[in-house]
Amino acid sequence: MQFLVLLCAASALSQGVTKLPLERGKKLREVLREKGLLHRFFQRHRYDIGTKFLHAFPNKLQVWFHALKATLAPAAPQMEYYGTISIGTPPQDFTVVFDTGSSNLWVPSISCTSLACQNHQMFNPSQSSTYKSTGQNLSIHYGTGDMEGIVGSDTVTVASLVDTNQLFGLSTTEPGQFFVHVKFDGILGLGYPNLAADGITPVFDNMVNASLLKENLFSVYLSRETTGSVVIFGGIDESYFTGSINWVSVSYQGYWQISMDSIIVNSQVIACSGGCQAVVDTGTSLVAGPPSGISNIQSAVGARQDTHGEYNVNCSSISAMPDVIFVIDGVQYPVSALAYTEQNNKGPCISSFQNTSGDLWILGDVFIRVYYSIFDRANNRVGLAKAI
């Protein structure tokens, strides 16, 4: 398989503000479709991203992502955007997802014999002079795959930012086929600390505690093109958006969770009537929500379900399809049909809305590509501005 790579170096905008370029590759859905495995995967894993649950036990840390970050719909394997970090001394490079919907960092370990690990970069503790073992075990359970391993401590470098003594997970087993097909090696969570396994301070918090950043925030621009996407630590880059920034208070400090007023199509409220909760999640490709609301959206935009369970639209009709408008704190955020559909070279265009099993709405990359997103920990708020 081939992935599109952004060929530019990380750069610092000013002291304490660092820009890291992101790669944009194929979704797992595209890869499985090309391999003829999509139908079988859908039979086993329906459109459910569920709810994350966290449990911590002495000497055995367990993070349960119940059917989250793990399905073909809005989930980590579908993510198109990845960045490169390094761990250890001398540095060992890894491709990771920068995920605002989780808070732990983990990568494969050299001691992992699973096929998924063998297909990716693996960290070798013996090759790092700064690595320290903690004696703790870590288990992360996804709806379609598991990661089990240990917790270690080492220097983590993100662009020009050097995060010393960072606790992170090292997978020793990744059973099943799920992680075999994904582009990324691991995940770097950018959620709040209480979403992380007990005792593990997230990478971003360590950066802030070490006074590495100019401001206690980061921002994300996801390009519609194959190049140009970035995550910016410690600042906001006005060249990536137009107009003003609308600030929305975080309603729960775990995910980057906010209150949403409603969802409108053709001047009618068709979902989230009376208000609902939403998560701005870089770790989810699509927009997801409760089945009744998603069904209303699919019907309103003219999407029809196929035998694989995907919702399709006629590609020639996209220009005439309505905007889907997310109303947040009284401000309307329209997402056009061009933004919420994707081209399938071997068939009809695909709708980028999918079901969850819970009540939360997930505003993933489909939304973030349209709205430059700022994650402000200092003021516990999310900033949204029209992306260029």
State if pTM tops 0.75.
Answer: yes
The domains of the chain, with CATH numbers, are: 11-220 (2.40.70.10), 237-387 (2.40.70.10)
Closest-CA residue to 115 (of 176, 197, 40, 38): 176
- Give me 179's structure tokens: 């992680």
Cα–Cα dist 76/72, whole Å? 9
pLDDT per position in the chain (388 positions), as tens?
222 223 233 444 567 899 998 888 655 555 545 555 544 444 444 433 333 333 332 333 333 333 233 232 333 334 468 999 999 999 999 999 999 988 999 999 999 999 999 989 999 999 999 999 999 999 877 545 678 999 999 999 999 999 999 999 999 998 766 678 788 999 999 999 998 876 799 999 999 999 999 999 999 999 988 789 999 999 999 999 999 999 999 999 999 999 999 999 999 999 999 999 999 999 888 999 999 999 999 999 999 998 777 899 999 999 999 999 999 999 999 999 999 998 876 678 999 999 988 899 999 999 999 999 999 999 999 999 999 9
Cα–Cα dist 156/353, whole Å? 35
Would you call 303 exposed, middle or buried from its count of C-beta atoms within 10 A (0-12, 13-18, 19+)?
Answer: buried
Catalytic residues: 99, 281
DSSP state of 378: T
